[in-house]
Structure 1
């Protein structure tokens, strides 16, 4: 069991490391090169593949790589292929300069983001196959720990290294590390665990399924009980079955939005009541749309700030060491603490009340950035600001994920969760593209005031949702 957990930790490390390559670390590189703020905001679209990776999941889940599959097995062969692609494109990126050829730089970064998001999907599926159902909760904690550690290496560690190295050199190191992680993973999976048995069992029939329990949360209301399973039907080793499965999957996704949403939610239950019984289809659809609007709006302030935080700190003349240690490392620690605090509070309060409370507190924390801008560079104030922002942010994220999970009920849980998660991705990848324009045209103080104010619509929508649930 301990060996399996070591592999799970490595899964988390790889996923956390990869997401930073085209995430906050790339954002810092762009800011350091004095790329225009409008462009930095626009390039948040690079992370879009993480928002739509569920569209491509069936391909990796059902198709086998002819030669690698015989050597490494189904999952590991896809991990090998995506890792090699990542090594290749990250190495190419290490020779580019965003200031000289921004279009090529952005294109390669988007390709890296695509392969990184695909590998994240594959690792998640692999993880569900090697962890016993009874150990899922503890294994998830190990995975998150590895994920945060990987983020620290690729973000805080990279920014610290930028004191001594160029980002071109750092990204060459990234390419090497991705290859090292692949070797460690192959050794761990093939020689320290008997995962081949699992692969044989998994593919012994033409159709099988894997289950991903995304979260398990208990509180004092029925909304606080969440458990999500993700089931992938495979076509086994038969190419015709594989192709037919993929066609059926995309035909399902190709339906109109209204019928799609109604189909997956007519089977849902909130607070133990079947909404489909008491409301007509139009009313149900409007309620679901209300939820989707909330999911997009609630995390919007954070997503705006995350895109502009590096340019802001550099604007205040904080150096790489201060940004790496306080802005990044302390920020991650604060988010972990905030998650624990949020979980403790949610044992006493229901999810909707917690979301409302945490949202208000987190919005007030944004004001500290305005104070920081007024006072200028101040290490103590930076520590307080990042601490308050990350701790309250961790609290809101805990409640947010619990809310999403609580909405997923019935036999379409997986589809519901994927759909909800894509809304979160839209909020992270698409809307922040205007963040740079806001800063340039209205200034930093008004930008952070804006991020505080746009919290209000999401909370008003939340109150509307709460009233509907209480009717």
Structure 2
């Protein structure tokens, strides 16, 4: 992932680099909408006495983050009229997505979940769609705007901004809702999106050059397609060239580089986060049903959990630098699955704030470690010339199975209770552990190329 390791002094100075600082604000903009259509929205719905089965189905809104690969080639290569000439390819799409998030959040704030549940769902889908589009742009901007020696620092800055935004959208929204109401909370969150808008208007567009190998691959694809007699009739040449270069080439390059093993990699990506995503859908309803106040949840699960996540992120970075990718991947997968058993244990206990803090600490510490390690692994798989589309593929696969299975979490809780649900979520993490062990074994085999 890095051609040259920075010295300790260079590493510290790198955090003051303008590109690195910009990722803090862009990370904040990316992280803010996520909880507002996920666990924070679940709490609002439960507070409005929406049944848990419906809340579980609402988690499918997050599938938008998992299917963004389908429109990432458009964002990657198509210019927006006038806006792209003014801001450039990446920043124009970023700005459009950020404005869309703001407007949709305002719409959600003005919607009553008791009488306008369908409208609220549609607006939540719009927030998720615009947020996923913003993610495509920021991921590409992060990799394209700096050299390999700054990529680790860029990622660290992005993660800190993202987690800070989740603190605002989690604890901040809970505090505002407790003091005022959910309408005020979501209006405030819409206002916080101005952080991203201002940053987008301030930073400069990255300059990306396509190398000869990439052009040769795209040329071979176009030459092959033109030999098919029916193609020109179905698709004009200009559109065909765009489709092959923007949509087909990134996937061909990935499979060409990894061979059949690419299928194992994609399957591993798909199952790695199933356990924690499935559990996360019911986390806030679980806290509320145990009898905790919204302010207590904000203080312990959000603020205290935030610092444990940052600690886990730092530990994850140290583990990767000392042991490589695969040992920390195994550790992260084991920790994420096993901490669900702590929630199962807590489900059978009486309300206890200290117990909640302990379980939340373990969960967020493991989540911080696994998240940083997994991002490092995904980054190592990406060809920088197809960054947006390939990274969208990986991040889509990373969340899609968990989002789909999580949609049934309310049915599971209503039918079997929280204790059985959390055990079930822990079991879902076993395939990720086994695959991580296999991948480490394969990586250590002599003459094996990954």
Band of TM-score, shorter chain: 0.7 to 0.9
Equivalent-residue separation in structure 2 for 1:143 and 1:423 (angstroms): 21
Equivalent-residue separation in structure 1 for 2:146 and 2:178 (angstroms): 41
> Are positions 1:47 and 2:62 aligned together?
yes
Are 1:13 and 1:150, in contact at CA under 8 Å, matched by a contact in 2? yes
Could you say if the C-alpha distance between residues 241 and 129 of structure 1 is closer, same or farther in structure 2, counting changes exceeding 3 Å? farther
Superposed counterparts of 1:451-462, under 5 Å: 451-462=425-436
Q: Name the residue aligned to 2:300.
A: 326
Could you say if the C-alpha distance between residues 138 and 395 of structure 1 is closer, same or farther in structure 2, counting changes exceeding 3 Å? closer
> Are positions 1:90 and 2:80 aligned together?
no
Equivalent-residue separation in structure 2 for 1:369 and 1:162 (angstroms): 25
Q: Name the residue aligned to 1:395.
A: 369
Could you say if the C-alpha distance between residues 131 and 159 of structure 1 is closer, same or farther in structure 2, counting changes exceeding 3 Å? same
Are 1:265 and 1:416, in contact at CA under 8 Å, matched by a contact in 2? no
Could you say if the C-alpha distance between residues 75 and 368 of structure 1 is closer, same or farther in structure 2, counting changes exceeding 3 Å? closer
Are 1:58 and 1:249, in contact at CA under 8 Å, matched by a contact in 2? no
Which residue of 297, 311, 333 maps to 2:271? 297
> Are positions 1:428 and 2:417 aligned together?
no
Instruction: State the secondary structure of the residue aligned to 1:96.
Output: coil
Q: Name the residue aligned to 2:189.
A: 174
> Are positions 1:104 and 2:119 aligned together?
yes
Ranges in structure 1 where 5+ consecutive residues have no aligned partner: 190-194, 203-207, 211-228, 234-239, 255-259, 269-275, 277-283
Q: Name the residue aligned to 2:25.
A: 10
Superposed counterparts of 1:159-198, under 5 Å: 159-179=174-194, 181-183=196-198, 185-186=200-201, 188-189=202-203, 195=204
- The Cα shift of 1:440 comes to 0.7
Structure 2 length as normaliser, TM-score?
0.79
- The Cα shift of 1:245 comes to 4.9
Are 1:372 and 1:378, in contact at CA under 8 Å, matched by a contact in 2? no
Are 2:278 and 2:403, in contact at CA under 8 Å, matched by a contact in 1? no
- The Cα shift of 1:74 comes to 4.0
Structure 1 length as normaliser, TM-score?
0.76
Which residue of 222, 243, 247 maps to 2:243? 247
Equivalent-residue separation in structure 1 for 2:119 and 2:346 (angstroms): 36
- The Cα shift of 1:118 comes to 0.9
Equivalent-residue separation in structure 1 for 2:142 and 2:266 (angstroms): 29
Are 1:30 and 1:98, in contact at CA under 8 Å, matched by a contact in 2? yes
Equivalent-residue separation in structure 2 for 1:61 and 1:312 (angstroms): 40
Equivalent-residue separation in structure 1 for 2:18 and 2:386 (angstroms): 33
- The Cα shift of 1:466 comes to 4.9
* Range with bigger deviation, 392-401 or 167-176: 392-401
Q: Name the residue aligned to 1:155.
A: 170
Equivalent-residue separation in structure 2 for 1:264 and 1:325 (angstroms): 44
Aligned length: 408
- The Cα shift of 1:303 comes to 0.9
Q: Name the residue aligned to 2:315.
A: 341
- The Cα shift of 1:246 comes to 3.7
- The Cα shift of 1:441 comes to 0.6
Could you say if the C-alpha distance between residues 177 and 414 of structure 1 is closer, same or farther in structure 2, counting changes exceeding 3 Å? closer
> Are positions 1:440 and 2:430 aligned together?
no
> Are positions 1:34 and 2:49 aligned together?
yes
Could you say if the C-alpha distance between residues 432 and 321 of structure 1 is closer, same or farther in structure 2, counting changes exceeding 3 Å? same
Equivalent-residue separation in structure 2 for 1:136 and 1:48 (angstroms): 28
Equivalent-residue separation in structure 2 for 1:241 and 1:119 (angstroms): 30
- The Cα shift of 1:163 comes to 0.9
Equivalent-residue separation in structure 1 for 2:276 and 2:70 (angstroms): 26
- The Cα shift of 1:310 comes to 0.4
Instruction: State the secondary structure of the residue aligned to 1:430.
Output: helix
Are 1:267 and 1:411, in contact at CA under 8 Å, matched by a contact in 2? no
Whichever structure has more helix as a proportion of its residues is 2
- The Cα shift of 1:325 comes to 1.4
Equivalent-residue separation in structure 2 for 1:290 and 1:130 (angstroms): 31
Equivalent-residue separation in structure 2 for 1:185 and 1:416 (angstroms): 23
Equivalent-residue separation in structure 2 for 1:250 and 1:5 (angstroms): 28
